[in-house]
Amino acid sequence: MRDVAIIGGGLVGLCAALALQHSKRCITIIEAGNLEQVQAGGLNARSIALSASSIQIFRALGIWPQIEALAAPIRQIHISSRGRWGVTRLQAADYELDAMGCVIENQALGRCLLDAVEASRNIKLQQKAEFESITQDTTVNVGYRKKGRLQQLEAGFALIADGARSPARAALGIGHQTIDYGQAVVISNVEVSKPKIDTAYERFTPHGPLAMLPLGGKRYACVWTMTPPQAAQAGEQNEVEFAAALQDCFGYRLGLIEAVGERFSIPIQRTRADALQCGRCLLVGNAANALHPVAGQSFNLSLRDIACLYELLSEQSLVDLDADSFSALADEYEKLRLLEQRQVIRYGDGLVTLFSNELPLFDHLRATGLGLLDLLPALKAQAALAGMGMAFGGNRLLRGHL
């Protein structure tokens, strides 16, 4: 019997396994896909922004040097509102940090995590293993199909990390709520003529935020929120037409948009699970909460789920935890995580309301708010710490050590 079964071997599942492993604990990851498949690179690569809190967690897990070598740091964030005077600048040096975060290609981050998992003696990765069922009593039994054969895994508890549409969450009978924002995000990488080293941009437009995140060299990741019809139109434009539209919206702070990669359009929804626990099963990541991308918090919030669970479990053998002890642990996990998750959701939804509204009053409020924020150090620090994931309390992983 294994101590932990992790259902879902994406970035969150791999991170959970690395955090929860130790010499007396055995972990199995059940992943439907093939993590060895090479994803697109260059201008067609997908990327992810890591907050300062996530950097601390990776530092604690001992894999930050490998990630840092492949990531582009963010030392300054320039926030503006299109067509208005208000501007806010957040700088890492103001908070005695080397960087406020970084940006890394999904493929590169996944490779770092996979290498660490494969090097561990305490983690077993089952790829091409399709989840089928989950039952529990004094232990958890997970059914999965691999090479056409149904197999069973018994574990002390299960961590559900299989995404916003989570089949495992549904099998446990945990419901979820979905909010459709009536928006879509268009993602593409671009090359610019005048890159600004270590600087990320967030520009608020009447239709939603536009982020330009440094990937190193001349490459920037463009994350552009639009209405669904606009996103559909953007997908039909050729590279020259899309570059012109982006240039008109973003301006010339990075010079000319010289090249555009493949574009991906994704409808924006927020998903929230009705509960974070069921018996000996706990939810983390998008299975618990999938957020609007405006605040860039979804994956970073997932890592803080894992950091909280690490703190609660400490060195315990999960197989030896009786029902009452595990129930108390699960209740504490849910209480702690709901507190932060609700704050992050309110923060993100507030930004959506303020910065995705075409009413003239909101337009003036945006400009005034950004201008005042830049002049009020205490308020700006609060916003910066929230964005870096460092305003919601700490634990050992968030302090950068095990």
pLDDT at res. 346: 72
Q: Which residue has the higher pLDDT, 104 or 360?
A: 104
How far is 333 from 321, CA to CA, in rounded Å? Answer: 15
Residues ≥6 apart with Cβ < 8 Å to 215: 45, 47, 72, 103, 105, 189, 221
Residues ≥6 apart with Cβ < 8 Å to 253: 78, 196, 201
How far is 259 from 193, CA to CA, in rounded Å? Answer: 9
Instruction: Give pLDDT tens digits for 12-64.
Output: 999 999 999 987 788 999 999 998 775 656 777 889 999 988 999 999 999 99
Percent of the chain with pLDDT over 70: 82
Residue 276, SS3? Answer: coil
What is the mean pLDDT of the segment spanning 2-18?
95
How far is 295 from 352, CA to CA, in rounded Å? Answer: 9
Separation in Å, CA 394 to CA 56, 336, 345, 389: 11, 11, 19, 10
pLDDT at res. 66: 97
How far is 326 from 317, CA to CA, in rounded Å? Answer: 11
- The whole-model pTM stands at 0.89
Asked whether residue 375 carries a pLDDT value surpassing 50, the answer given is: no
pLDDT at res. 376: 47
Task: Give the pLDDT band (50/70/90) at residue 86.
Answer: low
pLDDT at res. 202: 87
Q: Which of 183-187, 190-194, 256-260 has the lowest mean pLDDT?
A: 183-187
pLDDT at res. 123: 96
Instruction: Give pLDDT tens digits for 252-284.
Output: 999 999 999 999 888 888 889 999 999 999 999
Residues ≥6 apart with Cβ < 8 Å to 62: 116
Highest mean pLDDT among 92-106, 192-206, 245-259: 245-259
Residue recorded with tokens 């003036």? 364
pLDDT at res. 343: 78
Q: Which residue has the higher pLDDT, 346 or 122?
A: 122
Asked whether residue 379 carries a pLDDT value surpassing 70, the answer given is: no
Asked whether residue 323 carries a pLDDT value surpassing 90, the answer given is: no
Residues ≥6 apart with Cβ < 8 Å to 122: 21, 22, 23, 25, 26, 27
pLDDT at res. 90: 84
pLDDT at res. 317: 62
Q: Which fold has domain 2-178+269-387?
A: FAD/NAD(P)-binding domain (3.50.50)
CA 25-298-14 angle, 5° bins: 25
Instruction: Give pLDDT tens digits for 134-160.
Output: 999 889 999 999 999 999 999 999 999
Instruction: Give pLDDT tens digits for 64-77.
Output: 999 999 999 999 98
